[in-house]
Amino acid sequence: MSGLVFIRHAETDLAGTFCGHADPPLNARGRQQVEALIAQLAGERFDAVHSSDLRRAAETARALAAGFGVDCTTSAKLREIGFGRWEGLRWNEIEAVGAEYARRWVECFPSLPAPEGEPFAAFEERVLEEVDRLSALAADKRIAVVTHGGAMRVVLERRLGHTADQAWKMTRAYCAFFDDACAAVNS
């Protein structure tokens, strides 16, 4: 079977925050999640693993690649959206430092970026450009793509036709995965 399998990275100590481009390593629970993921995917065949270059995704991807005996390549194009000054903050902290902007951000999403953050259109464009490139590579290969919840939601909504609510539910869990046909979904 050829195609792409999208996998969300495992947990870090910044779980529950607007992590974005922050670069924490996996925590102990995250390393256990990776072991469980590899066991769960044992019946799969992968020819390569491609990943975001952020540590939480790259660590997940390197372990997956080692488990399947394939190469791992990283790309900044698969990063999560950059949250600027909101990096590493929980929603209550964001509201505490700027309730009015936070309210406007919710009302205007995705057209209003986080303060000093990456515009959603630029995020979406870079992710989809890389997914299109990887899709071409996967014409006769099976490629695992380890990335972030936001990037996966872009793929689900823009390439696979899911609603925002469906995409959110499918990507909430750490190490959640789906293939580019959405034939195998874990959440």
The model's pLDDT over 115-142, given as tens digits with 9 standing for 90+, comes to 999 999 999 999 999 999 999 999 999 9
Distance CA 159, CA 77 (A): 16
> Which residues sit opposite 146 in a β-bridge?
7, 51
pTM of the full predicted structure?
A: 0.94
Burial 43-79 (b: 16+ CB within 10 A, else e): ebebebbbbbebbbbbbbbbbbbebbebebebbebbb
Domains defined for the chain, CATH in brackets: 3-83+119-186 (3.40.50.1240)
Q: Looking at residue 186, what is its pLDDT?
A: 47
Residues of the chain with pLDDT under 70: 1, 183-187
Phi-psi region of 69 (alpha: psi -120 to 50; beta: other; left: phi over 0): left
